[in-house]
Structure 1
């Protein structure tokens, strides 16, 4: 398929520095898929609230991504946008807000994420009553699931249909649920739904064991990776933090701790980040540092795009979708 106008524009004008790295990374991603490799995409930051689903859902539908790692916030915020979009408020002058103006947003039930406010009642509480029923049902049956599996159950059950406020095709979580796409969600406890689940545990309504743990996410990934790495597994990292650091460690864990020396390194690596490299953060680590940790090979194609992921990721996805 020939490339569309967005892709042609990128190839014509994105020739140097971070723009050239964007093109190189996109072509490297495309080459990985052409060679039969699988691709993991990791979502850190507030990419769901940034409405990455408008293009990422199509990436999922077209099999351009085979497994996702994301924070608990990204897991839930895509669904919140699906059911409460008209109640969101944008604050373009967010840099100028006084503490008093921030307090006013709180009293109005608006939780601010940079320039976007998520409505407490229409988003968090609307989901809470439905997800609690699913948690409770599993709890009473003695069943246990991973955090994203409960979300899939809620989406596919149809209980949210009356609330839909955006086109369903723009929800990446719904696209993933339809495919039962594997998701790794490390540190899910650090999310609104995680806090809500903990509150029910404290009140004695639910058992901690009803929710599978982060360790069980790693054991799942340790099983998935060898079964899917015959032609390589690439790693496309949006932002930094636990969404990237947790899953990339499966490779050194398998060959060092599990003593499986035949485990292949990640076959591709790209990170979109604006974190600096001088303060020891994982987010700011250059790809070569990952060689010393046994995550990447010397020959692994490596790309780092030092820019805003809300600008870069949609452009790369557009290129991969021939837009």
Structure 2
């Protein structure tokens, strides 16, 4: 398929430094998929609030993403944007805010993420009731599910449709739920939804075991990787740093070193978009070659790092892969 104007612009102008790395990473992703490989995309930071769903949802529907690892914040914030978009408040001058300005936002029930404030009532509370209903329904039947499975249940039930304020084609959670692609959500407990669940446990309203744990997520990922790493293998496209990337990449050395399964393939493509400084023990800023020493990547694994803003880089790479 011929490349569209965005891809042509990228190829004509992105010739050096981080721009060239962006092109190399996009072409490597494209080659990996075209040769039959699977791809994991990991989401750190506030990529959902940055509305990455506009491009990521299309990637999912086009079959260019096979599994996602994300923080609990990214899991819930895509849905919050879906149901409360018109209530979000943009603060372009966020660098100039005083502590009093921040306090005023709190009292107005706005939670700030850089230049965007999430409306607590419309976003969190609209989702809360339906999540609590799903947790209670599962517990009443003696069932347990992962955090993303509960969210899929709520999205697929249609109960949120009454609140939709953006086109659902721009929600990556809606796209993922449609395809029922696996999601790994390590550290879900530190999200707002995780905090709400915790409060229900403390109040004695829910059993702590109703939502499956991070260890169970690692077991789930192990089973998925074993079933999908044949042939071209599984690639790893990491947006940002943190637990969203650190947790899933460890599944390979865990199987090889701890389970002593010596036939486990390494990740077969690696790219990280990061603005983390490459020094001082920062794993988010570690160059890909460091991962060789941990048994995560092979010597010959295609490796890319784009040291730039993921909110700019990821949509461009996705546009290139989608032939835009």
Which residue is 2:109 aligned to? 109
Distance 1:42 1:100 in 2: 35
1:182-201 equivalent positions in 2, closer than 5 A: 182-201=182-201
Distance 1:89 1:200 in 2: 29
Residue 255 in structure 1 maps to residue 288 in structure 2: no
Q: Which runs of 5+ in 1 are unaligned?
A: none
Distance 1:35 1:248 in 2: 22
> CA-to-partner distance for each residue in 1:195-235, whole Å, 9 max, x for gaps?
00000000000000000000010000101101101121000
TM-score calculated relative to the size of structure 1: 1.00
1:180-219 equivalent positions in 2, closer than 5 A: 180-219=180-219
> CA-to-partner distance for each residue in 1:151-209, whole Å, 9 max, x for gaps?
00000001001100000100000000011000000000010000000000000000000
CA apart distance, 1:318: 0.1
CA apart distance, 1:279: 2.0
Number of residue pairs matched by the alignment: 323
After superposing on structure 2, the runs of 4+ consecutive aligned residues of structure 1 that deviate more than 4 Å are none
Distance 2:283 2:240 in 1: 10
CA apart distance, 1:139: 1.1
Which residue is 2:307 aligned to? 306
| RMSD across aligned positions (CA) | 0.5
Distance 2:146 2:168 in 1: 23
Which residue is 2:90 aligned to? 90
Distance 2:31 2:279 in 1: 32
Which residue is 1:17 aligned to? 17
1:173-322 equivalent positions in 2, closer than 5 A: 173-230=173-230, 231-322=232-323
SS at match of 1:297: coil
Distance 2:104 2:283 in 1: 35
1:13-52 equivalent positions in 2, closer than 5 A: 13-52=13-52
Distance 2:33 2:58 in 1: 16
Distance 2:225 2:120 in 1: 38
TM-score calculated relative to the size of structure 2: 0.99
Distance 1:266 1:290 in 2: 10
Greater shift, 75-84 or 222-231, is seen at: 222-231
Distance 1:209 1:103 in 2: 36
> CA-to-partner distance for each residue in 1:252-275, whole Å, 9 max, x for gaps?
011111111010000000000000
SS at match of 2:236: strand
Distance 2:24 2:251 in 1: 26
Distance 1:282 1:88 in 2: 33
Which residue is 2:78 aligned to? 78
Which residue is 1:64 aligned to? 64
Q: Which runs of 5+ in 2 are unaligned?
A: none
SS at match of 1:75: helix
1:125-136 equivalent positions in 2, closer than 5 A: 125-136=125-136
SS at match of 1:288: helix
SS at match of 2:39: strand
